Structure 1
Amino acid sequence: MPRMASLALARWVLLAAMAARLAGADDPYRYFTWIVTYGPINPLGAIQQGILINGQFPGPRIDCVTNDNLIVNVVNNLDEPFLITWNGIKQRKNSWQDGVAGTNCPIPPGANYTYKFQAKDQIGTFTYFPSVALHRAAGGFGALNVYQRPAIPVPYPPPAGDFTLLVGDWYLAGHDQLRQTLDSGAPLPFPDALLINGMPSATLVGDQGRTYLLRVSNVGMKTSINFRVQGHSLKLAEVEGTHPVQNVYDSLDVHVGQSVAFLVTLDQPPMDYAMVASTRFNPADISPLTAVGTLHYSSATSMAPDPLPAGPPEQESEWSMNQARSFRWNLTASAARPNPQGSFHYGTIQTSRTLVLASSAAVVAGQRRYAVNGVSFVVPDTPLKLLDNYNIANVIEWDSVPERPDGGAPRPGTPVVRLNLHEFVEVVFQNTENEMQSWHLDGYDFWVVGYGDNGQWTENERLNYNLVDAQARHTVQVYPNGWSAILVSLDNQGMWNLRSANWDRQYLGQQLYLRVWTAEQSFSNEYSIPTNAILCGRAAGLPH
């Protein structure tokens, strides 16, 4: 067996064995120390300053098992504050570890912070990345894969190997230069390249006749991608921690912030086959960016003949939307918990309220910004979670975002929408522009019950919702001049970021926070402030 495939299979077996040994014992702990530095990287043939973790770009991969406790000591050796967020990890009862500016003070230069969280009730493909100062454009991102315990079967046989592919757009300009561009009022230019695992290409090695799991995450700043493998079908196996119906596709769209995993069987003559990633929904006057990797059969001695597999229609929302609608929740598969994931009949629950959130470009106080229902988020000097914990008044603008667009003049603000623990809420994301967008909700999965590319959402669209087996995920795309509707069960108390996954839009204000709360104070609902929490701004010097 080739070395890469052998190592992947060995890791799979090792994790299963560790979980088996620990069955019935306390959930195990995994300890990591990460040193964050600047360092030279060379993804495109020219030396750039990247953000490295333990000298690596991309950062180290975390492999863990459901319910493992992760202790990650992050030492910031940059010259500016730094934070890491855990994309898709639900942080049950623990928004204190979310790692975004609304919940955590950034780690000062020369200091450290130890994240303590649990991969609770999750199985699947996740990522981490820097969440402040456009650091994400310089690196600091990586993979976080959560494997199942033996008592919790996944709906496919163990693959012969398990490969992680971090795909994303990339700029030759440094993060500080990109930040200056946005601060000056100019838009980010189109990216310079597309990378796979930090390089323009990657090679995966496997044996003919065997089946492999490929995990693809879009870790880019702003661009959707399409992924395909020459001459091979992609059987969808996992979407952001949930198991879908295993439909087969020629290619898959993966939008910013999203992850999918699929099975590929090496059932073709032994050759080298192209793995192609290309950008989607590009500006009309710009050609797609492409990265080409290699799927190498271990016995191959030649390349598969051209041409490379073509992508889907470039500017057509319909093709991509139909594929998204074909993603269906597997109602017979087990989830991370022992109960079948389809036992929760979300479509029969009455919603308590509806939020229609329209994003738009705006000019606020003479600056180019993005707004949600007319409010452009401005990061306060003190995280919202600390302001709320210490009852510091006159900063948070409670419920200041209208529940629906009201046509008001754009303005800056620090909006937090107050919601009650265990509410069941409908959220509609309305895209008023010609640009593809993605939205992410920290702390939760949600059901994507509807998509549209026909302008404004109306209540009549509910007649076409999928209320039976809609795909659950944590990041949803919103098509140009269209809308996407989700249903979410608010069962995780805390202060949670609802943001654009397009990082230039997030940086310029397309975000807000949800405070999910109950008056019943209990550790079964939410943990207390950590004793090692960094206190800054108006909370500096206050007791833990």
Structure 2
Amino acid sequence: MAAHIRALLLVCASLLINSVLGEAPYRFFVWDTTYGVINALGVSQQGILINGQFPGPTIECQTNDNLIINIRNSLPDPFLLPWDGLQQRKNSWQDGVSGTSCPIPPGQNFTYHMQAKDQIGSFFYFPSLAFHKAAGGFGAIRIHSRPLIPVPFPTPEDEYTVLIGDWYTAGHKALQDLLDSGKELPSPDGILINGKRNSNGADFTVEQGKTYRLRISNVGIQNTLNILIQGHNMTLVEVEGTHTVQNSYSSIDVHVGQSLSVLFTANQPARDYHIVVSTRFTNTTLHSTAVIRYAGSSGPTFEALPSGPDDVEFSLNQARSIRTNLTASGPRPNPQGSYHYGSINVTRTIRLANSMGLVGGKPRYAVNGVSFAEADTPLKLADYYNISGVFQLGGIPDAPPPAYNGAMEEVQSKTAAMDSDHRSFVEIVLENSEDGVQSWHLDGHSVFVVGMDVGTWSEQSRGSYNLVDAVSRCTVQVYPRGWTAVLIALDNVGTWNMRSEVWARRYLGQQFYLRVYTPTHSFRDELPIPDNVLLCGRAAATNSSRTHV
């Protein structure tokens, strides 16, 4: 029996005992990560498979479930998986990014132990190292409400995962080489829906008169995507763990890295209808389709395929209409509306501006003039073991440089982290002086999206903030030449990645780590370092008995 299977069985035995004693249920997953052939756009290429699947297996769980995920890295490369939106309460040790975790070495395994603590919603996982995200390795995460917690809509007849994203025919290593050489990525070659470009088969089968849930995630690396269902409206019900006001939309924008859930009712004649996914805010529009087939279908509809709108004003107004459903329960019995975020005093304002500059003569992306440089040791481990010289705490200023104008400029390259106090309540303004849509994600937290607009943010912009029912989510967009303001309760101790979800920008430095710190070192605030933590870089030189790689 393989060593990693024996180790997992021992973990399972001990955890099952704890489950009998009254802990939340445990769910066990054994995954093998390999390279394999993907032929999504008619061109064979090397991609990342999990258990031989592309996309990878879906994680199905319930609020508070414990997740035990044993990953065998059968790639010739180091490997890491973050869990976008799975908030890792008090547990940034399991965050799966290079600033918090050592990579799983080739030929070895690692067991993640996480909990879907006080969470519901639709999320996804993906590989974070190198440029692996362009190679696949992604899959859906579904966190269901516990049976006794009311959900603000009738149980749908069925649920379907819809993973949408842009895709290249060039391999991920070729794309990485382009960026390393100082060149920009070309436009993507196509759009995938659940790993396929177009389908003439029945991707989703429905019965007339019944209602279905689509859990949609934009798992791509660059483009905002618009999704619609031919001849049907969609009702938005959930965004990254927040039940929303149930607005109806003929199409909806999903920015890169974002997830949401919609309901639709099969209320049309029994035919085949298309789901249409198309790029937004691009010079050339790419499309992909999937098929919704009614039981007893008489064949495809004769209507021309519709396309979504392509203007910023439409998308901006739609984004502003997405609000929290204050009458709905959250993952716990208390209603979400009991958290009156608008009446909490803001203790700090941080303005973050994206820019492009030069480091060593090559283009790099930056935040407030600082382009993140990867370290030889995870920042979290350096902090824990008091290893100096790994990163610069306070290396990211709270505002852009005075001379910042968004143009090409010389930027600083640092392994930078921003310090913050546990339980502080901060305002972050994301500013975009460029012509493309930006998308930002913060691990470990959800943020209240209180305002967004085109133009320049000023203190007077606070007068337009939604301080009552702003949606709470973990990934937010910033429109061209615009700004987005969020409020965040920094209630999750750890070292958390703040990053661009436009992956070329993140790879070339548009990211940093937010250190949410408390001097108390209590397990009530942060879980202890795992027994199976991997130690690498300068942390491998510690006297710890833990695994060194």
State the TM bucket, normalised to the shorter chain: over 0.9
Unmatched segments (≥5 aa) in structure 2: 1-18, 404-409
Question: Does structure 1 residue 309 correspond to structure 2 residue 306?
Answer: yes
What whole-Å deviation, never above 9, does each CA across 1:470-522 have from its counterpart, x for those lacking one? 01110000111111110000110000000001110000000011100111121
Tell me what 1:370 maps to: 365
Q: Number of aligned pairs?
A: 517
Question: Does structure 1 residue 442 correspond to structure 2 residue 443?
Answer: yes
**8 A Cα contact 2:236 2:246, kept in partner:** yes
Query: Greater CA deviation, 23-32 or 50-59?
Result: 23-32
The Cα of 1:201 is off from its aligned counterpart by 3.0
Tell me what 2:11 maps to: none
The Cα of 1:457 is off from its aligned counterpart by 1.2
Amino acid across the alignment from 1:410: V
What whole-Å deviation, never above 9, does each CA across 1:50-98 have from its counterpart, x for those lacking one? 1000000011111111111001111111111110000000000000000
Amino acid across the alignment from 2:238: E
TM-aligned CA distance change 1:370 to 1:54, over 3 Å:
same
TM-aligned CA distance change 1:475 to 1:63, over 3 Å:
same
**8 A Cα contact 1:374 1:407, kept in partner:** no
The whole-number CA distance in structure 2 between the counterparts of 1:532 and 1:75 is: 14
What whole-Å deviation, never above 9, does each CA across 1:227-274 have from its counterpart, x for those lacking one? 000110100111001100000000000000001100000011111111
Query: Counterpart of 1:463 in 2: which secondary structure?
Result: helix
Tell me what 1:430 maps to: 431
The match for 2:71 among 71, 74, 87 is 74
The match for 2:194 among 194, 197, 200 is 197
Query: Counterpart of 1:179 in 2: which secondary structure?
Result: helix
Tell me what 1:233 maps to: 233
Aligned residue runs from structure 1 range 61-460, under 5 A: 61-201=58-198, 203-282=203-282, 284=283, 287-312=284-309, 314=310, 316-407=311-402, 409-454=410-455, 456-460=456-460
Tell me what 1:10 maps to: none
The whole-number CA distance in structure 1 between the counterparts of 2:307 and 2:377 is: 49
The whole-number CA distance in structure 1 between the counterparts of 2:178 and 2:102 is: 25
The whole-number CA distance in structure 2 between the counterparts of 1:47 and 1:498 is: 34
The whole-number CA distance in structure 2 between the counterparts of 1:181 and 1:365 is: 16
Tell me what 1:475 maps to: 475
Amino acid across the alignment from 1:420: D
Query: Counterpart of 1:506 in 2: which secondary structure?
Result: helix
The whole-number CA distance in structure 2 between the counterparts of 1:424 and 1:539 is: 32
Amino acid across the alignment from 1:44: L
Amino acid across the alignment from 1:428: V
The whole-number CA distance in structure 2 between the counterparts of 1:445 and 1:184 is: 36
The whole-number CA distance in structure 1 between the counterparts of 2:43 and 2:439 is: 31
The match for 2:25 among 24, 28, 31 is 28
Query: Greater CA deviation, 380-389 or 398-407?
Result: 398-407
Amino acid across the alignment from 2:132: H
Amino acid across the alignment from 2:118: D
The whole-number CA distance in structure 2 between the counterparts of 1:24 and 1:436 is: 49
Tell me what 2:407 maps to: none
TM-score, L = length of structure 2: 0.93
The Cα of 1:373 is off from its aligned counterpart by 0.5
Tell me what 2:509 maps to: 509
The Cα of 1:24 is off from its aligned counterpart by 9.9
Amino acid across the alignment from 2:339: F
Amino acid across the alignment from 2:24: D
**8 A Cα contact 1:429 1:478, kept in partner:** yes
The Cα of 1:292 is off from its aligned counterpart by 1.0
TM-aligned CA distance change 1:23 to 1:71, over 3 Å:
closer
**8 A Cα contact 1:28 1:68, kept in partner:** yes
The Cα of 1:221 is off from its aligned counterpart by 0.6
Amino acid across the alignment from 1:333: A
**8 A Cα contact 2:72 2:108, kept in partner:** yes
The Cα of 1:306 is off from its aligned counterpart by 2.0
The whole-number CA distance in structure 1 between the counterparts of 2:501 and 2:67 is: 25
Tell me what 2:6 maps to: none
**8 A Cα contact 2:236 2:247, kept in partner:** yes
Tell me what 2:50 maps to: 53
Query: Counterpart of 1:325 in 2: which secondary structure?
Result: helix
